Amino acid sequence: MKKFNTAIVGATGAVGAEFLKLIEERNFPFANLKLLASSRSAGKKINFMGKDYTVEETTENSFENVDIALFAGGSASKIFAPAAVKAGAICIDNSSTFRMDKNVPLVVPEVNPQAISKHKGIIANPNCSTIIMVMALKPLYEISKIKRIVVSTYQAVSGAGREGMEELKNQLDALANNQPIEAKILPVSKLDKHYQIASNALPQIDIFLENDYTKEEMKMIDETKKIMEDDDLKITATTVRIPVFRSHAESVNVEFFDEVTAEAAKSALEKFPGVIVKDNPQEMLYPQPLETSGKNDVEVGRIRKDFSVEHGLNFWVCGDQIRKGAALNALQIAEYLIEHWKEK
C-alpha cells in the first residue's frame, strides 16, 4: 500500500496530540511524518510509535514533498495553508478560516463525502459542535426534509484547547481548597475580560458579532446549511460553555416537513455509521459527556416527540469534541482521500 508524507501543523496542542493517537490507532499509512508548531514549541521532542520526533517551526517552506497536511486549527491555517497548497500538499484544515469559502468543501465523511472530490487543495473540517449535530441530523433528514432546527449546546472546556482544560482544573482545585479563583482564558474573546467556569455556565463561545450572536453560534448555523446543502434550512443556536473537561452535549429540536416518529428516528440513527443510540428512559439510559469522552462515536438519546408543533422531535447528542469534533473527522477525510488517491 502506498504511504503518504504527512505533516501535522499544531502538533503540540490538544488536537495535535489526538491526531497522533488516532494515526497510531487507525494504522494511518504515513511515510514521513513532520510535526510542526509555532516557534514557541519548536525543538520539543515527541516520542511517537517508538521513534523520537523533533517539533519544527512551521514556515512557508515546511511543505515540500508533503502529501497531506493536517492543520489542527488556529491562526496558522490562514498563514500556511496557501503555502502548503502551492507546494502540492492537500490540506485538511480544522480552523474556521476557509469553511465558508465556495471553493472549499466542508466535510463530515458520513454525511457529505461527495463534496470531497471538488477540493482545490483545501478541505475544511467543520466546527466541533456542527459535526456532532449533523451526525445525528443526516439520517433523520433522509426520512424527511427539515424545516427548522433550534439547538442549544453544553460545550466542554476542551474546545478552548489544553489551556481551557488547565483553567477548569486549576479553578476546581482552588474551589476545593478554598483558594481564590483565577480566570485567565475563558471565555476566549478579544477583550481582556474573563469569567470563572468552575461551578458556572457561560453563554459565550468565541467572540460576539454585530447581530449579537456569538461566532460559534453563527458557525453552527452557516456550516450546517452548507454541509446539508440546504440554504432554506432554518436554524438558530445558543452555544454555552459548561464546566466539563471533554466532550460536548447538545439539545436539538427539529421540525420536519413530514412525520418522523421517535421509533423511525431511532431506527435510522441506529443504522447510521458513527452513531450509537443510547435511549431508554425506563432504565435511565441516555448519553453523557463523561461517557463519550475519548470515544469515536457520537451518542444520541432522549429522542421524543415535540408535541408543540406538527412534525417535531427533540433529542440530546453527545460527542468527543477533540475526536469526532476535530482530529478524527479530519483523519477520516484524509482516509477517504487516500482510498480515492490518484497520482498527479
Is 187 an interacting residue with respect to ligand 3JM (CB under 6 A)? no
| 214 near ligand 3JM, rule: CB under 6 A | no
Site string for ligand 3JM, 31-70 (x = CB under 6 A): ----------------------------------------
Q: Using the rule CB under 6 A, which residue among 58, 62, 95, 204 binds ligand 3JM? A: 95
* 209 near ligand 3JM, judged by CB under 6 A: no
State the nearest-atom distance from the C-beta of 9 to ligand 3JM, in Å: 13
Per-residue burial over 66-87, b = 16 or more CB atoms within 10 Å of its CB, e = otherwise: bbbbbbbbbebbeebbebbbeb
d(C-alpha 137, C-alpha 148), whole Å: 11
Residue located via cell numbers 504527512: 6
Question: Among residues 91, 248, 311, 340, which one is catalytic?
Answer: 248
Shortest reach from residue 75's CB to ligand 3JM, in Å:
4
Q: Answer yes or no: are the C-beta atoms of 151 and 235 closer than 8 Å.
A: yes
Shortest distance, position 237 Cβ to ligand 3JM, whole Å: 13
Residues 145-164 contacting ligand 3JM, CB under 6 A: 159
Position with the least CB separation from ligand 3JM? 96
Q: Is 119 known to be catalytic? A: no
73 contributes a contact to ligand 3JM by CB under 6 A: yes
Nine-digit cell string for 12: 503540540
Alpha helices (H) in the chain, listed in sequence order: 14-25, 76-86, 128-141, 161-176, 215-228, 262-271, 289-292, 328-339
How many other CB atoms are there within 10 angstroms of residue 334's CB atom? Answer: 25
The three cell numbers locating residue 103? 471553493
State residue 233 phi and psi, 5-degree precision: -60, 125
Of 73-81, 247-255, 292-300, 334-342, the segment contacting ligand 3JM by CB under 6 A is 73-81
For the bound state, the minimum distance from the C-beta of residue 153 to ligand 3JM, rounded and expressed in Å, comes to 13
Query: Is residue 329 part of the contact set for ligand 3JM (CB under 6 A)?
Result: no
Strand 30-37 relative to strand 4-9, pairing: parallel
Q: Which of 119, 128, 311, 340 is catalytic?
A: 128
- Confirm if 156 and 248 have CB atoms less than 8 A apart: yes
Q: Any catalytic annotation for residue 128?
A: yes
Among 41, 58, 127, 155, binds ligand 3JM (CB under 6 A): 127
Residue 178 CB, nearest approach to ligand 3JM (Å) = 32
Give whole-number Cα distances, 242 to 7, 203, 226, 250, 259, in Å. 33, 9, 27, 12, 34
Count residues contacting ligand 3JM (CB under 6 A)? 9
- Helix (H) or strand (E) segment spanning residue 149: strand 146-155
Residues that bind ligand 3JM (CB under 6 A): 73-75, 95-96, 127-128, 159, 219
By annotation, the residues acting in catalysis are 128, 248
